[in-house]
Chain A
């Protein structure tokens, strides 16, 4: 049956992240925040960060979106917390390669986010997966040394 292909996209870990997202909610104090919209589907993502001495000390996301965008945001926060701004931006580049189906040099650094490689076979959903990473890039671009 045709839904077997769906397993490549919606792996159990992805469904778990989506239903029990990590670093979800609001921070009382943050140093950087951003809201990004996906105008084609109406998804909204708010991202808050605490960045000190170029290190991501804390991160939270909120908003509404599909399984892929929510899971990806959760996985992204896991991947970048504790990393430097440059390291996080490098991860964003790696993730972008991953969802385009290209080779990623240091796949393990993405953590669970690496499991979103199946998105490459669903081109219409790539922007769901990249929304949180785009928000991260935008938020960090202003504070990179």
Chain B
């Protein structure tokens, strides 16, 4: 069956809205994505028919909730090709996942004099946990630089990788530049030096097939809400050998085996990490999102985004005074375009675009060190997904031109 973004759009009720008297064109998908009817229905069905706490009741609803929650874990396992479902931990989102690794694995394995290696393109969520870990342990935090083109500088990586490197933490796809980093190559180089590789996959998992075993990632984090799932649910994948030796970050109900007055023991993986009542509905919603995306196919989605970029690119760079950040070769990018228009502030651009019904992001995109490298206080960003059409691209370009004209000459 051939893919039609126009048909896909019909699955997303929110996208049929009129915003500021214009049909909504939603291009803020790197921030969060919209939800299809199938996901909304899964959430409602869960609350209407199965709501109960997991892993502790013997009644029928408890069984339904537990089965749904654990089935979602298996869906995630197959989706990212983890070796077993016990390697899939449910978290609040990518940020929580990365914080857990820094807190648990990091504090147990990083010492004074060690080095943590990240890149200047990291989102704050894959930067501050390592900065805090470095401050706490006395380790050095080092940064992989970018090439002139805006790609990860492998020379800079090689120059900084050493026996002192204990953790490398890297985005799979940059939320600003849209570039794809060579995770598998870096994993092999990391392992040869005895370091572990932590991958922030928030901008990758929704947009391309991801196989954590093929990538050889030690830890891999992503969020449900960026892949048509609910907010408040995310995943931390970790290799069993690593997760086994790690202490839980949170303690409480659900994660224990035996509690004595002075000491306690933990459940086995994955439950030892999931203290308290988890986000059951969120996990089930994420499972429904995975079913939805899998039916279409991640390769199809990736191809669709590529074709949108191929359609957009010549129109975009033809706009005089438009600056695009990152590589000019669209084969090296995903569906994220970060830009500035003439001397216009991106906030003014985003407000004008909003009046045309086009939702884009403006600001520093939680990547202040990268903004400094790009010599930009802030930028505008359009990010595309499976439900965006070539008509959306046309409207985006038309709105950009109208915005430019408005600030140059006012209304005609």
Contact = CB atoms under 8 A, between A and B. Distances in A.
Contact of A40 (B363, B371, B402): B363
A44 B406 CA distance: 25
B347 A3 contact: no
A68 B402 contact: no
Interface string B392-405: 00000000001100
B352 interface: yes
Interface of A: 1-7, 9-10, 12, 15, 40-44, 64-68, 122, 124-125, 128
Contacts of B22: 2
A71 B410 CA distance: 16
A18 to B, nearest CB: 9
Contacts of A4: 411
A125 B351 contact: yes
Contacts of B20: 2, 5
B377 interface: yes
A64 B363 CA distance: 13
Contacts of A7: 410-411
Given A41-B378, A42-B364, A125 B357 contact: no
A2 B411 CA distance: 11
19 contacts: A1-B402, A2-B21, A2-B357, A3-B352, A3-B356, A7-B411, A10-B406, A15-B410, A40-B363, A41-B347, A42-B377, A44-B377, A64-B377, A67-B345, A68-B347, A122-B351, A125-B347, A125-B351, A128-B347
Contact of B355 (A3, A40, A66): A3
Interface size range of chain B in the complex: 20 to 34
B104 interface: no
A66 B368 contact: no
Interface of B: 20-22, 344-348, 351-352, 355-357, 362-364, 368, 371, 377-378, 402-403, 406-407, 410-411
Contacts of B344: 67
B374 to A, nearest CB: 12
B355 A6 contact: yes
A103 to B, nearest CB: 25
Contacts of B356: 2-3
B406 A42 contact: no
A2 B348 contact: no
A41 B355 contact: no
Contacts of A10: 348, 406-407
A12 B345 contact: no
B348 A3 contact: no
Contacts of A68: 347-348
Contacts of A44: 377
B362 A41 contact: yes
Given A42-B377, A67-B345, A68-B347, A6 B406 contact: yes
Contacts of B348: 10, 66-68
Contact of B371 (A15, A42, A43): A42
A37 to B, nearest CB: 11
Contacts of A67: 344-345, 348, 407
